[in-house]
């Protein structure tokens, strides 16, 4: 009886004044993130402010080589699994709210600038499929002559992508009733990944089958391929590449692009205006991710197996390595707090995420995770080309 009375009293008082409210999970997602646990196919929900794991999402299929993107209200994540699964995850309930297995083998995806369309880049069968972000209903299916890579969102409900096998580059406009797909030209032999600058100006495509990088000016009405860095390292024997570099986080600092040399343990610095090489930095191994620390002159680099227990910090003004860190075994990814104060680093084989203060380079905390790979903070929702 006493209980019932208490309950009644609770119900009568305004909800925000009741102690129950304090126990309701927080309704804001701005400082949350998701970590891909590749061995178990789960997502770890993390809280950036608390530096803690706060939940787990299951039922996502094969998450090896998975990535994800966020809708504009930072509530829903769209997860692209290796097995072709596209899942929509609610950050608040930590549940999969929609899921479709849309291809046999996929590699990544992107969300349109208005948050209405989600595009997935597929290996098998090759091509790009576009889905309604609300329902995950298929909106468009654009087959390709091979594996598609480097899918990015371009303002105006558009996406750009590239075909590994043929080198073809396409711009798809999904703003009208019917999609308009425009071939932009050929990037070169075996493009392995591509990235769009944050100003949506330049689509840069890294080549594996030949030396060089190809740029398309997407501000131009008729973009054309411009090749550069075609002669780096050509005289020396190439080193084996045990993991393909990722270009998602290609760094753009101090008027320069910083690119991973493919088959050499070097970073290449290129002047953004002239596309001429300005410097090289010898580094610990084959660079995989090169990511600019926001609001700073520094870039952070991780490396391919077997040299993957190290992260290096490089000053883009001097092109020198200023710090070499050993966060743990098999470092797969680095994600910065949106304003750069912290970096979260995943160590797959030590089953943990290590958090560093980017100014002091001291470890601020660790979070246990099962074979963690990609780390994605919700702030990505508001960045072009991710």
Partner 1 sequence: MRSLLALVVLALPCAAEVAPERAKALEHMVIQDCGSCHGLTLKGGLGRALTVDALAPADAEGLALIILDGVPGTAMPPWRPLLTEEEAMWIAHYLKKD
Residues 228, 215 contacting (CB under 8 angstroms): yes
Please give the size of the binding site for ligand HEC, defined by CB under 6 A. Answer: 4
Helix, strand, coil share of the chain (percent; to 5): 5, 50, 45
Contacting partner 1 (CB under 8 A), which of 89, 91, 107, 118? 107
186 binds partner 1 (CB under 8 A): no
Tokens of 160: 């750009």
Q: Identify which of 81, 78, 73 has the alpha carbon closest to the alpha carbon of residue 89.
A: 78
Taking the complex as a whole, the smallest distance from the CB of residue 61 to partner 1 amounts, in Å, to 10
Please report how close the Cβ of residue 287 comes to ligand HEC at its closest, in angstroms: 14
Kindly tell me which residue out of 50, 58, 114, 124 binds partner 1, with binding defined by CB under 8 A: 124
Query: Per-residue x/- marks for ligand HEC, 223-252, CB under 6 A?
Result: ------------------xxxx--------
Q: Is the separation of the CB atoms in 194 and 153 below 8 Å?
A: no
As measured in angstroms, the least distance from the Cβ of 133 to ligand HEC is 32
Q: Does 190 bind partner 1 (CB under 8 A)?
A: yes
Q: Is 254 in the site for ligand HEC (CB under 6 A)?
A: no
* Contact present, 374 and 67 (Cβ < 8 Å): yes
Report the distance separating Cα 302 and Cα 300, nearest Å.
7
Answer yes or no whether residue 165 interacts with ligand HEC by CB under 6 A: no
Cβ-proximal residues to 324 (8 Å cutoff; 6+ apart), any chain: 284, 310, 311, 312, 313
> What span, in angstroms and rounded, lies between the C-alpha atoms of 337 and 316?
20
Which listed option, partner 1, ligand HEC, none, makes contact with residue 82 (CB within 5 to 8 Å by class)?
Answer: partner 1
Query: For binding to ligand HEC (CB under 6 A), which residues are involved?
Result: 241-244
Query: For binding to partner 1 (CB under 8 A), which residues are involved?
Result: 38-39, 62, 64-65, 82-83, 105, 107, 123-124, 147, 164, 190, 192, 208-209, 240-244, 305-306, 330, 348-349
């Amino acid at each position: 009886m006493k209980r019932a009375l208490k309950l009644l009293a609770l119900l009568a008082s305004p909800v925000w004044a009741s102690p129950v409210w304090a126990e309701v999970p927080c309704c804001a997602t701005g400082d949350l993130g998701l970590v891909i646990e590749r061995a178990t196919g789960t997502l770890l929900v993390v809280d950036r402010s608390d530096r803690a794991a706060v939940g787990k999402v299951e039922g996502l299929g094969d998450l090896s080589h998975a990535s994800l993107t966020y809708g504009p209200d930072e509530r829903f994540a769209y997860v692209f699994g290796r097995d072709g699964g596209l899942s929509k995850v609610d950050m608040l309930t930590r549940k999969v709210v929609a899921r479709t297995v849309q291809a046999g083998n996929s590699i990544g995806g992107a969300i349109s600038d208005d948050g209405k369309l989600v595009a997935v880049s597929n290996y098998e069968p090759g091509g790009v499929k576009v889905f309604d972000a609300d329902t995950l209903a298929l909106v468009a299916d654009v087959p390709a002559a091979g594996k598609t890579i480097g899918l990015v969102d371009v303002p105006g409900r558009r996406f750009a992508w590239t075909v590994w096998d043929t080198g073809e580059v396409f711009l798809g406009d999904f703003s009208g009733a019917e999609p308009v797909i425009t071939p932009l030209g050929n990037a070169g032999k075996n493009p392995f990944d591509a990235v769009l600058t944050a100003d949506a100006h330049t689509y840069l495509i890294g080549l594996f089958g030949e030396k060089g990088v190809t740029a398309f000016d997407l501000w131009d009405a008729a973009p054309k391929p411009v090749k550069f860095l075609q002669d780096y390292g050509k005289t020396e024997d190439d080193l084996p590449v045990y993991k393909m570099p990722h270009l998602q986080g290609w760094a753009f600092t101090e008027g320069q692009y910083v690119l991973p040399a493919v088959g050499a343990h070097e970073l290449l610095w290129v002047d953004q205006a002239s596309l001429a090489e300005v410097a090289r930095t010898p580094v610990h191994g084959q660079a995989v991710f090169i990511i600019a620390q926001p609001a700073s002159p520094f870039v952070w680099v991780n490396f391919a197996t077997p040299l993957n227990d190290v992260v290096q910090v490089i000053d883009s003004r001097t092109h020198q390595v200023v710090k070499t860190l050993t966060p743990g075994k098999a470092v797969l990814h680095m994600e910065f707090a949106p304003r750069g104060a912290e970096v979260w680093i995943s160590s797959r084989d030590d089953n943990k995420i290590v958090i560093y203060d980017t100014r002091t380079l001291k470890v601020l905390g660790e979070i246990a995770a099962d074979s963690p790979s990609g780390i994605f903070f919700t702030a990505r929702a508001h960045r072009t080309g991710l």
